[in-house]
Structure formats: structure tokens, C-alpha cells
Amino acid sequence: MYIYDEIDQRMVDERVKQFADQTRRFLEGKLSEDAFRQLRLRNGLYIQRYAPMLRIAIPYGLLASRQLRKIAHVARAYDRGYGHFSTRQNLQLNWPKLEDVPAILAELATVQMHAIQTSGNCVRNITTDHFAGVARDELVDSFVWCEIIRQWSTFHPEFSWLPRKFKIAVNGARSDRAAVEIHDIGLRVVRADDGAIGFRVLVGGGLGRTPIIGQTLREFLPWPHLLTYLEAILRTYNRYGRRDNIHKARIKIIVKEFGIERFRREVDDEWAQLKDGPNTLVEEEVKRIETRFTRPQYEKLPATDRALERLLVRDAAFRNWHARNVHPHKVPGYAAVTLSLKKTGVPPGDVTSEQMEAVADLADRHSFGELRVSHEQNLILADVKLAQLHDLWQEARSLGLATPNIGLLTNIICCPGGDFCGLANAKSIPVAQAIQERFDDLDYLHDIGEIDINISGCMNACGHHHVGHIGILGVDKNGEEWYQIEIGGNQGEIRPGLKASLGKVIGPSFARAEVPEVIERLIRCYLDRRDSEAERFIDVVHRIGAEFFKEYVYGKADPQSPRRRRHLAVA
Amino acid sequence: MAKLIRNRRVADDTWLWLKPDASGSLPAVPDEGDVIVPLSLWIERREALLSRKGRTGVWLDSKEGPEAIVPNLGLLPLVAVSFPVFGDGRGFSTARLLRERYGYHGEIRAVGDVLRDQLLFMARCGFDAFALQEGQDVEDALAAFDELPETYQASAAEPLPLFRRRLPQTERCRP
């Protein structure tokens, strides 16, 4: 956990004061609706379909137990007793009162939390690998770099009124668990032959209505130049990014219009002026940030635990959970554990105040008082002793947080959708639930193996549907909710070699009631076609192509046959 | 006379901002008095403008970077940067470039849809004068400069980022 120093803390406290004053002036009629909208967005406050929504920042997804307890308290005192973890590793409260928001922010500031830049056309929360610091394939701990970028981007005087929002992800391991290829800027740590650390810089990736995979802007950027180079990219974007059309305003569009070569030239010309200037990082600063992170005091333990192994043999339910929700750790005798927020019947990513408090206790007892939020909307206890796994499992199970489905079909990424969001064309949570109910047989789930299903309620793609192995997009057809199905998307190089890819729509959209059956057909096609259990759904799609799957879903003769559609509608 | 903020004080605005009217045509340049002309007029009639009685400044539209006036900066006591809508943040880059890259020491004035809540970051980017959008209390707006006193970044107002300000004095400027 990064611990604020006095200056970090003052910055957050002063922002609370500033926002309280802005809210006061708005309520007194001294600030126009339009101006206040932009200002409140920069502090994470939306006005949604039914109520305001406050998005609280969880920088790079790292959270201390005392912070989670504070969120639990805030959710109970000012909201309806629950919160929603988002795909940007943040937390959203769906029902706060506008007038209460300054008080909520003041409470959050007491535990070094805030809502700074969680919305608006500025640099948003920096995201990263939820196994940062503990992964076996890690090159460096990406949290340190995320914090350096967080500080650089916080209240940046020049880049607070960009053409559009700006998302940066950092990955410090060999596998990419941060989906860097679908960010405005993606940074992948690379180690040069001489051992020097640097970044491969990707630019122009993103989802939304124009999904694009990011391109490499620079193969190797030595770490001291990180901030000057970011500044050069952001200045190029701020000056030349499109402002005439909100749907063409993300950096990906200007990268596409310029072409990567010209965009690189523009950035390099700008960088030539900034390089080696005062923003050049120094080793003292990297070390200073590093030492402000609390580090678990690991015990020296054997790499295996006898008792654990006996329990795994004896208890099939524990074994299932262990197989899916327990992850290897770089320190012998420890493991990382995912607490699943994807239990059937619960909106994906939602947690009650009681669960938050219980999870905070679990973190204190089993994982040095810290936890992480994953972009797949689950919670991670990153440093659990092997000997404590069984206890933890039992406790998590009684809290409804031990669904053994990480990586499996029911671990659905899902936006809040039409139940909450003012932008949505369709509901997404009931679709996730219907699929989870359909695939509720654990043996079947394990047989299907690893698959990502992502659901977005509109083309803004908060549920990352383009990069789901199966992506589901809610669309509006003459006022009715319909669902388009894509297959073949992939969020990134989680397994080396399989790069990020965008799904392709398989055909005409479906009514909500049809969706589980369509998923079932896609799965049956996969099971028929796979070479072995080791070949995952996405591998088969890439190997045999989407056509086969399409035929399976729509029927061979006439994919758009009305008879087939009627049949499906009653299935 | 209209009021503006200059160097964190309320002041009278003696300059005429010459901008196209609703039909798109530019009013005549007055024979005397201080005037802020569009970049295109400056390029076209620089000598004539400089021989007038009264000072001449140039205003840049948000899409116009500072590059075109760089060779003339020594002739200009004032450069204004227009914000056609407050969300158009290009002017923040323009001001930093003028101050930090091109070493401009004259007045940089924010004009157009300039809101009280943007003054602080504008000042950090190098603006020192602000003609607020109508309907805002100019006196009240002065408080904006005292918000968020701590900063992480280097900027026109602060040559070193916080991480270098934390280093011992002698170490701060090393590469």
C-alpha cells in the first residue's frame, strides 16, 4: 500500500475543500449546470438515470482493509449499503445525494482516498496487473510506476481539459494481465539485454464505439524518460486530437488519422524539446516511492504444505476452489486468492457493506491487511499462507465469496447497464444472471474450461464486450432491448503469444431471453470441435474461424431464417 | 470599463479585443488605443498596426498554436489565447509553450469562455491575465488562485516537479 506523505495528504484535503465550495456555489445558483457538470465529473460525480453516481478512485486497484471499512461505512451511511467494483478497478456508489458528496469525500480523505479524476476529459485512474508484486513472471513491481504516473497526472495543469478521457495501463510482468493493448497508452515493462529497465509504449488502443488495438509507439523507453515522453504524447494529443466530434475525440482516432508513423514523428519532435528536462526521473524518486509502499513481512516457509495437500485430496469442493481461485506466488509458502464477486444471482462486481467489512477482516487475518480489485471485478487477497487457505476458503464460502469460477464462464465481466446507467441501451445484469443460471453445473463449467464472457449495455463498452471471448452488447431496436453477440475477442497477452483481438459480430441480434441458449450453442460447437481439453474456446475460434460457430447458432440453411428465430425465441 | 484579473488583482481592461461579429466580418481597427487583433490580421498588416498610436497585441484561436508569432514575440506586449468553449483545453498547451519554450515575458491573457474554476491551472500554465466570461464575480474569482496550493508537476509557474524540489538544493537541476 502506498502511504501518503504530508504533501499527498494536503493535496487530497485541499481538493475536498475545493469541491465542497464548487458544490455550494452550484446549489446557490452561482455556477451554471454545464460548468458544474464538468467540474463534478472531474471528481467522479455523475447524475445517472435514477440518482447521482460517485466513482471512488482505487489507484491501480490497491486497497487497505481500513479503506474498505471506510467504503463500507460510507455505502451504509450515505447510500443503500452496497457498492459496485468497476472494470477500471474503481468503486461506484449508485445512490448518494449530491449535497452529501462533500461529506463523503471528507470521510474518504481520512483514509487517503478520493474521487479525483475518476471521470471527465483528463487522465483517469492508472490500472495494472492485480498480481503486481506477487506474480512469478514479474519483471518489476508495476505499482511503483503506477504511483509515479498517478502523481504526475494528478491535477496536471495542462492536461485537465483534453479532447476526451485518457486511460493508461501499466504491466510489469511477462504475461499481460493489465490489457495494455486496449488503452490510450499501454506501458509494458521490458528489460534490455544489459538489465536496464524501460517500457514498450503502446498508443491508441481502446474499446467504445470504435474498438482499436493499440500500436507500438516506441519499443524501448528507458525509465528516466517516462514522464517527459508521456508529456510529449499528451501534449501532441491535447493540441491535435479532434474536438469537433465527441465520438472521434479519443487519441486512437488521431493516431489512426495521422498513421502511426506521422504520430510518432509529432511525438518525437515534441519529446526532443522535453527530453532530459526537469521532468526526467531520478533514481532517488523511484526509491522514495518504493519505500513509501508497505511491504508484507513474509515468513520463511516451505514451498508446499502437507496439511493443505491432504485437504485437497479429501475435499472436492475445496479442490475446485483451489484450482480456480488460488494463484501461484513468487514467495514460497504463499498464494494469491481471488474472492469471486460473480456468484449467481448477485450483480457482477457488487458487494454489500457487510461483505466489505468481512473481507477487510479476512485481509487483516490472512493477507497483511491489503487487497486488490481486479479489472475483472473481483477482489484479490495477494499474500495468503498456504496453511491458511482452507480456513480462508471456509470463511469466504460463508460470505458467498468463494464461487470457484475464476477464468470460467460464469466469471462474467459486466457493466451496471440499464438498471443504473443513463447511457445504457439495454440491461446487462439480468443477462449475466440468466447465463450464470443456465451454466450452474460446476462439472460442466470446469469441462468447458477457460472462457471470458463480457457484457456491455451500450457501445461505450464499459463491460469490455469487444475483448470477451464471447462479447454481448445491448442494443436498442425501436425502443426494445436486443443483444448482439461477438466471438473471438481477447483482452491481451495473458498467455504469451495470444495477443489482444477484437471480437466479430456473428449475425443479427437476439432478444434477452434467447441469449443463454445462444451461449449454450456456441459452447456446444466449441466442445464438438476442440482437439483436447487444453484447447480453449478462444483457441478454437481462432483455429476454425467464426463461421462454424455462426452456423451452429443460426442454423446452416439460412442464418436469418425467421422460423429459426421464432424457435429460439421460445427455447 | 470592463474588469479583468491581472497578476491576481482586479484591474480595468484598457484593451479592445477585435473579433469578428456575428456575420463574420472584422470591425475596423481604431486609430488609437490598445487593440488585440486576430493572428490573420497581424500577419497581413503588421507594419500598419505597429505604426498606430496605441499598443497592439495578438489573439490566438484555440486551434492556432503559438508557432506563427514566435519570431514577433519581441514586438508584442500581449498575447491573448481564446477559449471558444471552456472545455477546449488547447490554450493550456499554447500558454506553456509561449512561456517555457519561447521565453515570452509579456502578458498572456485568457479570453472567451473563461471560468473561475479554470483560473488556477491557467495560471500554472503561464497565463497572468484573465478576462472572465460574463456573469461571474471577478472579486470572488480571486480566491481560485489559493486553491490546491501543492503541485506535483513542473509548469510555467514552477520550473521543477515536486520530486526534484524534494532533492537537496544542489541536486535539483542535475540531468
- Give the C-alpha separation, A170 to A173, whole Å: 9
Chain B nearest-CA distance from A374, in A, is 27
Q: Report the pLDDT value the prediction gives residue A562, as an integer from 0 to 100.
A: 46
**Number of Cβ atoms within 10 Å of the Cβ of A107:** 17
Do residues A92 and A79 touch, judged by C-beta distance below 8 A?
no
Helix spans in A457-545 (H): 515-529, 537-544
Q: Could you say which of B88, B96, B149 has the minimum Cβ distance to residue A158? A: B96
Fold entry, domain A413-570: Sulfite Reductase Hemoprotein; domain 1 (3.30.413)
B156 inside domain: no
Q: Report the pLDDT value the prediction gives residue A565, as an integer from 0 to 100.
A: 45
Q: Could you say which of B87, B124, B171 has the minimum Cβ distance to residue A161? A: B87
Chain A nearest-CA distance from B27, in A, is 27
In A179-266, where do the E strands start and end?
Answer: 185-191, 197-203, 215-222
Q: What is the dihedral of CA B17, B21, B27, B30, to 10 degrees?
A: -30
A121/B87 Cβ within 8 A:
yes
B36 inside domain: yes
Number of alpha carbons in the 13 Å side-chain half-sphere of residue A401 = 26
Chain A nearest-CA distance from B1, in A, is 23
- Give the C-alpha separation, A240 to A29, whole Å: 35
- Give the C-alpha separation, A115 to A154, whole Å: 11
Q: Report the pLDDT value the prediction gives residue A49, as an integer from 0 to 100.
A: 66
Q: Report the pLDDT value the prediction gives residue A260, as an integer from 0 to 100.
A: 98
B159 inside domain: no
- Between positions 237 and 256 of A, the ones with CB within 8 A of B are 238-239, 243
Number of alpha carbons in the 13 Å side-chain half-sphere of residue A248 = 8
Chain A nearest-CA distance from B128, in A, is 14
Q: Under 8 Å CB-to-CB from B130, ≥6 apart: which residues?
A: B4, B5, B6, B109, B110, B114, B119, B122, B141
Sheet hosting strand A168-171, strand order edge to edge = A127-128, A168-171, A185-191, A197-203, A215-222
DSSP B98: I
Q: Which helix (H) or strand (E) holds A317?
A: helix A316-325
Would you kindly state where each structural domain of chain A is located, as residue ranges?
6-109, 127-289, 306-398, 413-570
Residues of B in contact with A159 (CB under 8 A): 89, 92
Q: Could you say which of B152, B159, B173 has the minimum Cβ distance to residue A152? A: B152
Does A6-109 match A306-398 in CATH topology? yes
All three cell numbers of A202, joined, read 503502446
Which chain A residue has its CA at the smallest distance from B63's CA?
A239
- The reply to whether A484 touches chain B by the CB within 8 Å rule is no
- The reply to whether A15 touches chain B by the CB within 8 Å rule is yes
Q: How many domains does chain B have?
A: 1
Which chain B residue has its CA at the smallest distance from A9's CA?
B150
Distances (CA, A) of A514 to A378, A424, A475, A553: 27, 20, 14, 11
Q: Could you say which of A160, A277, A279 has the minimum Cβ distance to residue B89? A: A160
Total beta-carbon pairs less than 8 A apart between chain A and chain B: 107
DSSP A166: B
Query: What CATH number has the domain bearing residue B55?
Result: 3.20.20.70
The residue count of chain A comes to: 571
B67 inside domain: yes
Q: Residue A489 is which amino acid?
A: G
Q: Could you say which of B87, B101, B150 has the minimum Cβ distance to residue A7? A: B150
Q: Report the pLDDT value the prediction gives residue B74, as an integer from 0 to 100.
A: 97
Do residues A335 and A376 touch, judged by C-beta distance below 8 A?
no
User: Is CATH 3.40.50.720 what the domain over A127-289 is classified as, yes or no?
Assistant: no
User: Is CATH 3.90.480.20 what the domain over A6-109 is classified as, yes or no?
Assistant: yes
Look up cell 486553491; give the residue: B147
- Give the C-alpha separation, A413 to A49, whole Å: 21
Q: Is A520 buried (19+), middle (13-18) or exposed (0-12) by CB count in 10 A? A: middle
Distances (CA, A) of A299 to A293, A296, A326, A368, A383: 19, 9, 19, 12, 11
Mutate which of A119, A158, A225, A292 to disrupt the B interface (most B C-beta within 10 Å)? A158
Q: Report the pLDDT value the prediction gives residue A167, as an integer from 0 to 100.
A: 97
Q: Report the pLDDT value the prediction gives residue A561, as an integer from 0 to 100.
A: 44
Sign of the torsion angle spanned by Cα atoms B108, B109, B115, B117: positive
**Number of Cβ atoms within 10 Å of the Cβ of A36:** 19
- Give the C-alpha separation, B19 to B35, whole Å: 10
B160 inside domain: no
In A25-134, where do the E strands start and end?
Answer: 45-47, 52-56, 62-64, 82-85, 91-93, 127-128
Q: Report the pLDDT value the prediction gives residue A363, as an integer from 0 to 100.
A: 98
**Number of Cβ atoms within 10 Å of the Cβ of A14:** 17
- Give the C-alpha separation, A373 to A356, whole Å: 12
Q: Report the pLDDT value the prediction gives residue A564, as an integer from 0 to 100.
A: 43
Q: Is the pTM of this model over 0.90?
A: yes
* pLDDT tens by residue, chain A, 571 residues: 999 999 999 999 999 999 999 999 999 988 988 889 989 999 999 886 667 899 999 999 999 999 999 999 999 999 999 999 988 889 999 889 999 999 999 999 999 999 999 999 999 999 999 999 999 999 999 999 999 999 999 999 999 999 999 999 999 999 999 999 999 999 999 999 999 999 999 999 999 989 999 999 999 999 999 999 999 999 999 999 999 999 999 999 999 999 999 999 999 999 999 999 999 999 999 999 999 999 999 999 999 999 999 999 999 999 999 999 999 999 999 999 999 999 988 888 899 999 999 999 999 999 999 999 998 899 999 999 999 999 999 999 999 999 999 999 999 999 889 888 888 899 999 999 999 999 989 899 999 999 999 999 999 998 999 999 999 999 999 889 999 999 999 999 888 778 899 999 999 999 999 999 999 999 999 999 999 999 999 999 999 999 989 999 998 644 444 444 444 444 3
DSSP B97: I
- The reply to whether A5 touches chain B by the CB within 8 Å rule is no
Sheet hosting strand A334-339, strand order edge to edge = A62-64, A370-373, A379-385, A334-339, A326-328
Query: If DSSP codes are grouped into helix, strand and coil, which group holds residue A128?
Result: strand
Closest C-alpha to A379, from A353, A406, A409: A406
- The reply to whether A9 touches chain B by the CB within 8 Å rule is no
Fold entry, domain A306-398: Sulfite Reductase Hemoprotein; domain 2 (3.90.480)
Do residues A164 and A41 touch, judged by C-beta distance below 8 A?
no
Q: What is the dihedral of CA B119, B120, B125, B130, to 10 degrees?
A: 20
- Give the C-alpha separation, A111 to A13, whole Å: 11
A10/B151 Cβ within 8 A:
no
- Give the C-alpha separation, A214 to A176, whole Å: 14
Q: Could you say which of B86, B155, B159 has the minimum Cβ distance to residue A157? A: B155
A18/B87 Cβ within 8 A:
no
Structural domain including B64 reads 3-146
Query: Mean pLDDT across chain B, nearest whole number?
Result: 96
CA angle at A145 for the pair A139 and A148, rounded to the nearest 5°:
165
B114 compared with A557, residue with greater pLDDT: B114
Question: Per-residue pLDDT tens for B59-84?
Answer: 999 999 999 999 999 999 999 999 99
All three cell numbers of A224, joined, read 528516466
